[in-house]
Amino acid sequence: MEATSALVAQIDAQAVSQTALERLTALRAALPGPVVFTTSFGVEDQAITHLIATAGLDIAFATLDTGRLFPQTYDVWAQTEARYGIKVRPFFPEARAVERLVDAQGVNGFYGSVEARKACCDVRKLEPLGRALAGAQGWVTGLRADQSDHRQSLAFVSHDAARGLIKLNPIFDWTREDAAAFTAANSVPVNALHGQGFLSIGCAPCTRAIAAGEPERAGRWWWEDEAKKECGLHVGPDGRLTRTGAQA
């Protein structure tokens, strides 16, 4: 634990003055085992995909196919694999678990309560994420500080003690405008829904376009308390977002 905390602190301190690519390269160099990048094909994830693929970094690509994604998300998935000559490995929810979920709460039962929605996220996202990260030493995500007030408490690097790995947010200090400008300048495929007001894109039933002036993640689980909207992917056992290694 002490060695891991020291490594996290070292990588995090260096990250402040590094580019996103240098952060990715540093994490890959620091860990002897597998590193996985989980992408949902949003604009920030597409920027990271471009960095990893064009630099030829030994980082695996994975995505969580919940079974309820937008058609446009599948389109950009295919475009991304063709553009970079990569394979993004899908992780699906367990069929029996989905059957039990729908039987218990109905096909759209997640609208009924926060607990019901979290149960759906558990089956469709959290359990598959566990398999996606199994055996990995490093986890790369596209989290940014300006996505929500809740996420400003994060850092470039943290120790995910529950999963036993080091987590890197290489574009943590980018704005959405930075990510959009980067993808445009480098001809990176982006989800067509971004141009229709869908800034944060998840499952189709749980995502809507946002109006001018609304926070970026207002379109996710819009029927819930704005201050507490996380699916659980980046939340620790205590229900809080995973933060710095010093706090892990």
Tell me the three state secondary structure of residue 2. Answer: helix
> Which residues, 6+ apart, have CB-to-CB distance to 24 below 8 Å?
48, 51, 52, 55, 57, 59, 140, 168, 170
Whether 203 is catalytic is no
**Angle (deg, nearest 10), helices 176-185 and 43-55:** 50
Decide: 124 and 66 in contact? Cβ < 8 Å. Answer: yes
Decide: 131 and 103 in contact? Cβ < 8 Å. Answer: no
What value does the CA radius of gyration of the chain take, rounded to a whole number of Å?
A: 17
Which active-site residues does the annotation give?
231
